[in-house]
């Protein structure tokens, strides 16, 4: 003779289980999406950093060319007006021969 057990399956528990499984799947999809978005942002950040470095290099090269051309221009104008380059520069130094008084 067979004996059967009666098990009561509550409708609320079944629905709660499916909701929990759905939330778990939704959480997994959201995790994968945000993980891939953060990886894409890191790659884009590295690309932007390299572009910034290249722009800085180009800008410094342009600035050095500008300064070089500016000095050449001013030297040309000065020689046309009769000025000559000074062969030896003389600097003033105040360290020697000064007297400092201090009160104790």
pLDDT in tens, 28-73: 999 999 999 999 999 999 999 999 999 999 999 999 999 888 877 7
Q: Write down the pTM of the prediction.
A: 0.48
Q: pLDDT tens digits, residue range 78-89?
A: 788 888 877 888
Structural tokens at position 74: 């001013």
d(CA 100, CA 44): 62
For 85, residues 6+ apart whose C-beta sits below 8 A from its C-beta are 75
Could you give the residue ranges of the DSSP H alpha helices within 1-104? 11-80
The helix/strand/coil state of 93 is coil
User: 95 to each of 88, 91, 98, how far by Cα in Å?
Assistant: 21, 12, 6
Distance between CA 47 and CA 40 in Å, rounded? 11
């Amino acid at each position: 003779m067979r004996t059967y057990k009666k098990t009561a399956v509550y409708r609320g528990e079944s629905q709660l289980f499916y909701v929990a499984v759905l939330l778990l799947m939704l959480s997994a999809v959201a995790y994968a999406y945000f993980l891939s978005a953060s990886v894409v942002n890191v790659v884009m950040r590295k690309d932007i950093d390299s572009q910034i470095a290249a722009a800085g290099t180009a800008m410094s090269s342009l600035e050095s060319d500008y300064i070089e051309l500016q000095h050449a221009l001013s030297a040309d104008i000065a020689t046309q007006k009769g000025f000559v380059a000074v062969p030896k520069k003389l600097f003033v130094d105040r360290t020697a021969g000064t007297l400092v008084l201090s009160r104790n």
